[in-house]
Amino acid sequence: MAEARRRLPPGGVVPEDYAFQAQAPDGDPAGVRLSELFAPGKTSLVIYSMMFPRAPEDKSPGPPGGQTALVPLAEGPCPSCTALLDQLDGAAEHVSQHVNLAVVAKAPLERVLTFAAERG
């Protein structure tokens, strides 16, 4: 932990304004910068990095149905991450009153959005 702190510049500012892909209000893909994930009045950001695709050695079953079930197992979502996000879903409304909350994954945006829609 101390080693990680030493790598941050003074003040703890992230040196690069990372860019993510997200879904725009019109449904099209859009770029979103890390700095844009902060809503007015909220200075904390919690990012959950979902393993999607899952860990290569994870051979547990994939989703039972839907478009995500058609994805090769090695390219599908991590079942443990899925379970954690299912639990977080109920708390997200309350948590987001105090902090900014985002979920990121390495999978293509279309695949992540399909998975999200299937999970409700």
Strand partners, 23: 29
The model's pTM: 0.81
Report whether pLDDT(8) > 60. Answer: no
Give the model's confidence band at 2: pLDDT under 50 very low, under 70 low, under 90 confident, else very high: very low
Q: Which of 13, 61, 11, 58 is nearest to 34 (CA)?
A: 13
Rounded to an integer, what distance in angstroms lies between the CA atom of residue 99 and that of residue 38?
Answer: 9
- % of the chain surpassing 70 pLDDT: 90
- Amino acid 10: pLDDT: 56
The rounded mean pLDDT for the chain is 89
**pLDDT tier for residue 5 given thresholds of 50, 70 and 90:** very low
Average pLDDT, integer, range 32-48: 92
> What angle is formed at CA 33 by the lines to CA 115 and CA 116, rounded to 5 degrees?
10
Over residues 45-101, the pLDDT tens digits come to 999 999 999 999 999 999 999 999 999 999 999 999 999 999 998 899 998 999 999
Closest listed residue to residue 76, CA positions, set 99, 98, 105: 105
Structure token digits, residue 56 = 């290569």
